[in-house]
Structure 1
Amino acid sequence: MAYNHPKPDDRSDNVEKLQEMIHNTIENMEEAEESMNMSSSEQQEQINAKNERRRESIAGMREEIKDENHAKH
């Protein structure tokens, strides 16, 4: 009988992945803001709310990058 063992925790590229996620999130925010010109006021409110959540996510990812860098040293 084969036993399933968890994969070892490879965190070596976490910072790069987080940086890429931040980059993609910023691009999504910019695209959403550009679309606001053609959106109703209700859609604009939704876009603003989503972008605010995105800003919070970015802040969290930046904190995680700091933690990862601190753990490496």
Structure 2
Amino acid sequence: MEHNKPKPDDRSDNVEKLQEMVQNTIENMEEAEETIQFSDGEDIQQVKAKNKRRQASIESMQAEMKDEAEAENNKYQ
């Protein structure tokens, strides 16, 4: 009987992945802001609310990037 072994935890590229996610989120925010000029009141409020959530996500990802960078510098000890 063969047991499923979990894959080893490879965190070596987490910072790069997080940076890409932050950049994509920023681009989505910018695109959403551009659509506001063609939107009405309720849509504008939805875009602003979504961008506020995106900003919170960016802040979380940046904090995680900092943690990952520190862990990488400490060789994940």
Q: TM-score range by the shorter chain?
A: over 0.9
Return the structure number with greater helix share. 1
Indicate the residue corresponding to 1:63 in structure 2: 63
Report % sequence identity: 62
Give structure 1 regions of 4+ aligned residues with deviation exceeding 6 angstroms.
none
Give TM-score, length-normalised by structure 1: 0.97
Q: Secondary structure at the match of 1:26?
A: helix
Aligned length, in residue pairs: 73
5+ long unaligned stretches in structure 1: none
Indicate the residue corresponding to 1:29 in structure 2: 29
Q: What is the Cα-based RMSD across aligned positions, in Å? A: 0.6
Indicate the residue corresponding to 1:8 in structure 2: 8
Q: CA deviation at 1:71?
A: 0.8
Give TM-score, length-normalised by structure 2: 0.92
